Chain A
Amino acid sequence: MVEGLVRLVFIAVMAMTCAAFVGCATRAPDAVIFDLPVQDPLNDSPAKSLWQSGVQARDNNNLAAASRYFERALSLAPDSSWLYRELAELRLRQGDDAAAEGLARKALRYAPSDPAYQSVLWQLVATSRQRQGNEKGAESARREADMLWSRKAAK
């Protein structure tokens, strides 16, 4: 019993020390702001040229065309977290929040082990859940995002 208590105190002290050093309490940004990773996720593939066309269409507010481009790209690179994220953001803009959540979660499934990137995806999940009225789910996703963001900060 006493031994267990000592262990608990030890673990708590370690956790607090960690938090003090790396800023575990850092909160992930609310807005989806994310810099492109240094490594090009689609390399020089045909999917990349479709993605680029999609981005252009999206920036021109032609969301239907952007959606078609991203989907075509996805059929060439079906495990691309990057493309799922693009589509998730697009669906949010189109007001299809349930689809946005599904796509963001698929993006997480294929995401590289980059906490900052994963944090952004959880933030997307949180936003889409919030818009669907799922407050509890949104809060849980936000916690995930914060935790990952703090890991990024630790790096």
Chain B
Amino acid sequence: MAKNTRKKTTSRKTPARASSKSAPRRWWSWAFVFKLALVLGVIALVATIWLDALVRDRFDTHQWQLPARVYSRPVELYAGRELDRAHLLRMLDLMRYRRDPAARAPGSFSVNGDQVLLHTRGFNDSDGGEKARLLRLTLSAQGVRRLTDGAGAKVSIARLEPIQIGSIHPGHKQDRVLVKGADIPPLLEGMLLAVEDRSFYEHHGISLRGLSRAMLANFRAGQMTQGGSTLTQQLVKNFWLSRERTLSRKLVEIPMAMLLELHYSKEQILEAYLNEVYLGQDGARAIHGMGLGAQYYFGRPLDELRPHQYALLVGLLKGPSYYDPRRHPERSKQRRDTVLLAAYDQQLISVDELKQFQQKSLDVVPPGSAALYAFPAFIDLVKRQLSRDYPEKILSSEGLRIHSTLDVPAQLAAEAALARFLKNKEEVNGAVVITSPNQGDVLAVVGDKVARSAGFNRALDAIRPIGSLAKPAVVLAALQQARKHTLASMVEDGPVEVVMEGGQHWAPQNYDGKSLGAMSIQDALSASRNQAIARLGLDVGVGPVIKTFHALGVRSEIPPYPSIFLGALSLSPFETAVMYQTIATGGYRTPLRAITDVLDKDGLPLARYPVSPKAVVDEDLMYLLQWALRRVVVEGTAQYAYNMLPKDLVVAGKTGTSDGYRDAWFAGFSGSHLAVVWMGRDDNGNTGLTGSSGPLRVWTDIMSTLPQRPLNLTPPETVKMVWMDEDGRRSSGSGCAGARQYPLLNVSLPDSASPCGKVQGAPKGVMKWLKGWFD
């Protein structure tokens, strides 16, 4: 066996030796090549199948990361609406309406004397929304006198579209406004293809001419400088691959681009490209897609841009940072003009248009000037309310449209008033919350005297002692003991001392250090007398007062000490607004809402946040308190407002100052607005301000700016206006010495009259006879 083997070996070696003499030994064989090709083919096939699955899976299931967008409340237009011209123009400016004598396109307007021609943009809402339409407004000094459509027919009511005031993308930093294929402006598409991929509609994912040109350039440069990519390749790179320019990436990119073209239409690829492209950076927010690019750089929807603006966006694709129009305007303009030239070469624009648009300035809005960035404190509130109902993932990706209650004029008025007052008070900051009492809508939230500051939101998070803003709760608790206390009842403004559980003494002093003796509860409230209210609170009891605070809507824990009568409980301005909202509505606790509707990305309604008041305090009692707070304005610590505001504007409210002037407050309301203003220092130092000398001024400023409706102080049937004598126990007559008129519940009506009152109010004739029977 061994012998045979040796023989075999020898016989095999012989020809090898012979051939090595005639030709060099071949390291490969055809069989090897075949096998290698087979293996490579299988690998390529597997890779292609894998890439195909990758492409299809990602493209089919791709969901754009669409952050939830928050919009202000739409502006209602109707004849009789109080709206001055400057105010309207300011709104149109915020909405980036363009001047056009004929207002031909949505988002344009013209002014001619008292006539305003408006072409609204239209929007979706849970009631169906509004279509874009032409409106003609005739203005007068009082507001909108007449409202008609473009043809002159009367329009009862119409709305301007809501302004986008923010977006919510907690899970990622990408932001975009989705543009559907059908909505891509043809000129934008033309410019894009003229610059980036002229043979887009001819190739199948790759352009051999482009690739060879790029390879030649790379060869000359000695490195990868050009990619020669088609739009499809760029999309593949953006979607699946890294930004590195390497050969390996290119080798993957090419088949993927071809596979993409195999499965999807050119329109689908173009739509994806335009929504995916990166166009710049706004802090931590990455600007993706042409839709958001238009908003970010020009403050307008994409379809409202002019040709030179499309050119700028297209030009940015080459290098969003390098050609940033805000940081490098010259560079950006050069690039834009190059795009315009390419558009001209492709006969997309005429030579006249080329010249005209090349002469245009960049038209870029200053960073942060869009309303989108303007109201961080309000957006903060919206986020908190949304987070109760929606998980972060949905908020950051589903493209929800959040219709908020923000009233832009109210917000601007509040910001301006606070900033004006605190301009020279460096250490002092402030917050404002404005609501509409009947609906519970939060109209404005200011969390810092510097508008647009996104730092500490004092309106929601500054939890500070409310001082005398607590006194109405004490008075209300007393009035609930209707047979014992009325607003006319006397209370002693004198020294009071309480020994607390731990042996501490509580002995409140008045603001002026004096004790004024007996006075009515009304006077104690109007003049904000600490000792009188403390005595009243002690008489009523800590428990009932705490109960009243809670009935008014205070959720924070309230310490069971008598010092709460004078405001030793800490609330945020927002929670204070909740409390005063119940007073302003006449006893109805209306949850403050910052959101009215949530719509999906297509504008279809998903959820409503309806108005839902709950009766928590008897309205006749609340009427008494409203009346008492009105007196605070007419004759008490808030008289400044009475002196400054029109006399027919009935408002009510209360000043508050905490110990050591650390916090100054004013909470007050008309029939249409409730506003709470707080001022304080972040280091909790002395502000040098009282509720009257600080917040009341800002409050008055705000209320005088906004269109107002007076507070309706018509007494309910169970309340009678009664003249009471000085001691507050007996009824009196209008002409009697010291007599004052008070609203009293029927159950609190006095059963005796002063001698003067008896004479004045004595019943006559049949009434006297009848009264005799019932006395």
Footprint of B on A, CB under 8 Å? 7, 10-11, 45-46, 48-50, 53, 57, 64-65, 67-69, 71-72, 74-76, 78-79, 87, 91, 94, 96, 98-99, 101-103, 105-106, 109
Indicate if the CB atoms of A79 and B712 lie closer than 8 Å: yes
Q: What are the interface flags for B110-152 relative to A under an 8 Å C-beta threshold, 1 for contact and 0 otherwise?
A: 0000000000000001111000000000000000000000000
Known contacts A46-B157, A98-B612, A99-B612; is A109 also within 8 Å of B619 by CB?
A: yes
With A68-B125, A99-B614, A101-B614 in contact, do A7 and B619 touch (Cβ < 8 Å)? no
Q: How long is the Cα–Cα vector from A85 to B614 in the complex, in angstroms?
A: 14
Q: Which residues of B contact A (CB under 8 A)?
A: 76, 78-80, 125-128, 156-157, 436, 438-439, 441, 585-586, 588, 590, 596-597, 605, 608, 610-615, 619, 671-672, 709, 712, 716, 773-774
Chain B: minimal CB distance from A71 (Å): 5
Contact A75 B608 (CB under 8 A): no
Which A-B residue pairs are the 4 nearest by beta carbons? A99-B612, A46-B78, A102-B613, A49-B156
Q: Please name all residues of chain B whose beta carbon is closer than 8 Å to the beta carbon of A11 when the two chains form the complex.
A: 773
Most chain B Cβ neighbours within 10 Å, of A78, A79, A87: A78
**Provided the pairs A46-B157, A65-B128, A72-B76 are in contact, do residues A87 and B611 lie with their beta carbons within 8 angstroms?**
yes
A contact residues around B438 at 8 Å (CB): 74-75, 78
A75 contacts B439, C-beta separation under 8 Å:
yes
B383 CB to nearest A CB, Å? 23
Nearest chain B CB to A34 CB, angstrom units: 21
Contact B80 A46 (CB under 8 A): yes
Contacts of A102 in B (CB 8 A): 588, 590, 612-615
Q: Which residues of A contact B611 (CB under 8 A)?
A: 71, 74, 87, 99, 103
Q: Are A98 and B436 in contact (CB under 8 A)?
A: no
* Nearest chain B residue, comparing its CB with the CB of A78: B438
The reply to whether B436 and A75 contact each other, CB–CB distance below 8 Å, is yes
Contacts of B615 in A (CB 8 A): 101-102, 105-106
Instruction: Give every chain A residue within 8 A of B586 (Cβ-Cβ).
Output: 109
| Interface contact A99-B126, CB-CB below 8 Å | no
| B612 neighbours in A (Cβ, 8 Å) | 91, 96, 98-99, 102-103
- For this complex, 27 residue pairs linking A to B, each with C-beta atoms less than 8 Å apart, are A10-B773, A11-B773, A46-B78, A46-B80, A49-B156, A50-B157, A53-B127, A57-B127, A65-B128, A68-B125, A68-B126, A68-B127, A69-B127, A71-B611, A75-B76, A76-B76, A78-B672, A78-B709, A94-B610, A96-B612, A98-B614, A102-B588, A102-B615, A103-B612, A105-B588, A105-B615, A109-B716
Cross-chain contact of B613 among A10, A69, A76, A99 (Cβ < 8 A):
A99
Tell whether A99 pairs with B610 under 8 Å between CB atoms, given A65-B128, A76-B76, A105-B619: yes
**Least distance between B606 CB and chain A CB atoms (Å):** 10
Which of chain A's residues have a CB closer than 8 A to the CB of B128? 65
- With a cutoff of 8 Å between Cβ atoms, the chain B residues found around residue A57 in the complex are 127
In the complex, what distance in Å separates the CA atom of A59 from the CA atom of B202? 55
A65: contacting residue among B78, B127, B156, B157, CB under 8 A:
B127
> Which residue in chain A gives the minimum CB-CB distance to B147?
A46
How far apart are A99's CB and chain B's nearest CB, in angstroms? 3
Q: Is the CB of B709 within 8 A of A106?
A: no
CB-defined contacts of B436 to chain A, threshold 8 Å: 75
CA distance A119 to B709 in the complex (A): 29
User: What is the chain A residue whose CB lies nearest that of B622?
Assistant: A109
Taking the closest CB of chain B, its distance from the CB of A93, in whole angstroms, is: 12
Bound complex: CA A3 to CA B610 (Å)? 58
- 5 new A-B contacts at CB < 8 Å, known A49-B157, A101-B614: A46-B80, A65-B128, A67-B610, A78-B439, A105-B615
> Given the complex of chains A and B, what is the CA–CA distance between A102 and B712 in angstroms?
19
Chain A residues near B76 (CB, 8 Å)?
Answer: 46, 72, 75-76
CB-based contact B125/A106 at 8 Å: no
Please indicate the chain B residues that have their CB under 8 angstroms from the CB of A87 in the complex: 611
Taking a contact as CB atoms under 8 Å apart, the answer to whether B588 and A7 are in contact is no
> Known: A10-B773, A67-B608, A78-B671. Is A46-B127 also a contact (CB below 8 A)?
no
Question: Which residues on B sit within 8 Å (CB–CB) of A7?
Answer: 773-774
Q: Is A71 within 8 A of B614, CB to CB?
A: no
Most-contacted residue by chain B among A57, A64, A99, A102 (CB, 10 A): A102
In the bound assembly, the distance between CA atoms of A101 and B588 in angstroms comes to 11
- A10 smallest CB distance to B (angstroms): 7
The residues of B that contact A65 with a CB separation of less than 8 Å are 126-128, 605
Contact call B597/A68, Cβ cutoff below 8 A: yes
Residues of chain B with a CB closer than 8 A to A91's CB: 610, 612
Q: B78: which A residues are within 8 A, CB to CB? A: 46, 76
